[in-house]
Amino acid sequence: MAPGSWEAVTVERAGEIVARLPFVVRGPRRMRVLTQPRATPFLGPWVARRPDAKYAKALGDQMELQAELESKLPASVMFRQSFSPTMTNALPFVWAGYRAEVAYTYRLEDLSSEQALWDGLGANIRGYVRKARKQLVVHDDLGLDRFYGVWHDTLTRQGRPAPSRERLERIEAACGPRNARAVLYACDSSDRIHAVAYVVWDGEVAYYLFSGSRPELRSSGAASLLVWEAIRRAGQVARVFDFEGSMLAPVERFFRDFGGRQTPYLQVSRTSPVATGMVGLRDVARRGMAALRR
């Protein structure tokens, strides 16, 4: 996701790596920003677990390792990463001057029973899925061109930047040969694509990474059908299904109805005074350009 632009700091004990923090480097040396790759839901530190240790000892070790990772980070004007929901501690970063803000995703923590997952859906979602099944078929072999077309149109219609085709191809090149993704299309009998979804997994968690739909065909229930199909398939390869963020109100309501548990995660950041000033100037300039266009 970040070829040639990522690095990592590590901590070793007795010749073994016990903690690691990867990051993406952006900008010139004097204005270096440390962050995470685009289209990557979570990053943050990994710390080896001590299942045999008492809680206080294990937490103390984690604190020590996080502090050592932070101390090894290169100088930068900004750091920003979303830590995995499994890493609920960021105190060593806060003590070092970082901010830790809470954001939310939704997760299905047990995919072992399809019937239990179906029963956990809201009545409205079950209705949409049943309706969609009567008129749509889910395919997974229609190629990236057709997926990208729907995804691209969805984001640009929402006023968001057009997605990178190159980034999508890199994900596909990494995940496709490893059977670590599903590319889903909901199509009608006229071969019209109503909605698309791209799901990736790592053996532990499946992530609902990208999606898109045709607004003129939205009433078919295709979006609900594809989320349900993604959950079903994830149950064969992962333990957890992550809806990958739910901070926008309409998105949160939609994901909540699939029975997932609201799950907090930490957005950890630090910005130097110089960078803060530059961001402020940038925002003023953007507002001025917007006013001129009006």
- Residue range 39-66, pLDDT digits in tens: 899 999 999 988 888 999 999 999 999 9
Backbone angles phi, psi at 190, to 5 degrees: -95, 10
Residue that wins the pLDDT comparison between 275 and 25: 25
Query: What pLDDT is attached to residue 248?
Result: 75
Condensed to tens digits (0 to 9), the pLDDT of residues 70-106 reads: 999 999 999 999 999 999 999 999 999 999 999 999 9
pLDDT number for residue 277 = 57
Does residue 132 register a pLDDT over 60? yes
User: Which sequence spans correspond to the domains of the chain?
Assistant: 6-101+265-293, 110-259
Query: What is the pLDDT at residue 285?
Result: 53
* Mean predicted confidence (pLDDT) in 127-147: 95
Q: Is the pLDDT of residue 290 over 80?
A: no
- Where does the pLDDT of residue 276 fall: very low under 50, low under 70, confident under 90, or very high at 90 and above? low
pLDDT of the residue at 190: 95
Cα dihedral 57, 20, 70, 45 sign: negative
pLDDT tens-digit readout, 153-181: 999 988 888 889 999 999 999 999 999 99
Distances (CA, A) of 236 to 44, 103, 205, 276: 27, 28, 11, 46
Q: Is the pLDDT of residue 262 over 80?
A: yes
- Look at the block and give the residue holding tokens 């199509």: 187
d(CA 98, CA 90): 9
Q: At residue 292, does pLDDT exceed 60?
A: no
pLDDT at 291 over 80: no
Question: What is the rounded average pLDDT of the residues 250-277?
Answer: 87
Cα–Cα dist 290/40, whole Å: 30
What local confidence, expressed as pLDDT, does residue 283 receive?
53
Give dist(CA 236, CA 254) in Å, integer: 24
pLDDT tens for 207-249 read: 999 999 998 998 999 999 999 999 999 999 999 999 987 677 8
At a CB cut-off of 8 Å and minimum separation 6, what does 222 contact? 132, 136, 186, 194, 195, 213
Q: Which of 294, 271, 275 is nearest to 283 (CA)?
A: 275
- pLDDT reported for residue 282: 55
pLDDT for position 111? 96
Q: What's residue 15's pLDDT?
A: 95
| 3.30.420, 3.40.50, 3.40.630, 3.40.1350: CATH of 6-101+265-293 | 3.40.630
**Is 6-101+265-293's fold the same as 110-259's?**
yes
**Dihedral over alpha carbons 214, 218, 222, 227 (to 10 degrees):** 90
Percent of the chain past pLDDT 90, that is, above it, reads: 81
User: What's 110-259's CATH class?
Assistant: alpha beta
CB 225 within 8 A of CB 186: yes
Kindly report the three-state secondary structure assignment for every residue of 183-202: EEEEECCCCCEEEEEEEEEC
